[in-house]
A and B are shown apart, each in its own frame.
Chain A
């Protein structure tokens, strides 16, 4: 079993305060990256999405 949840979880456990992403003046560590992904999951699933539903992204590169 190996999904995208795993690297996010490992990284936040093994190096929580290490920088994961730098976007302009903002710097996010691995614990925060994992937290934001969990919040994104919560926010999207609260819209009533079910497993396998599609979420599109149209955006320039950035931490979000």
Chain B
């Protein structure tokens, strides 16, 4: 969430993709920085900066100055590029805006009953929309003023 909040575009990569697919995604998206928790190997050649998780990542945060989030960021701005599984050809980077992802989270909140003291066990991988959407919804969930909820989404429905 921090990457798009900073006005940057997050590219969550599938940890089960092969190097060829990962290289394609990095080059296709023109990614500048790769945050990675394993040996980057030849992926390092595709980007300007590789930051290893956890050590280099934690060091970067320790040395960083806090920056205000959301400055000059609009809800129609691109927030993330999600590369598809590529079952019908080359993987495609699906362009999702802040509004797209937050609308998804609202939808989750209206369809998955939650209480303030609930704990959500994240089983799905966070690089996948199914994993990230639930987390975004849970972090956003109870704190969003209800007046922000889109009126077009029903609170409950049945077939």
Contact = CB atoms under 8 A, between A and B. Distances in A.
B47 A56 contact: yes
Contacts of A4: 1, 4-5, 69-70, 73, 79, 98, 101-102, 136
B32 A55 contact: yes
B13 A41 contact: no
A22 B61 CA distance: 19
Interface residues of B, number: 71
B37 A8 contact: no
B18 interface: no
Given A11-B139, A46-B64, A51 B2 contact: no
A11 B29 CA distance: 31
Interface in B52-86: 53-54, 57-58, 60-61, 63-70, 72-75, 77-79, 81
Interface in B121-146: 122, 125-127, 131, 136, 139-140, 142-145
A52 B119 CA distance: 33
B2 A42 contact: no
A34 B70 CA distance: 12
B30 interface: yes
Interface of A: 1-11, 14-15, 20, 22, 30, 33-47, 49, 51-62, 64
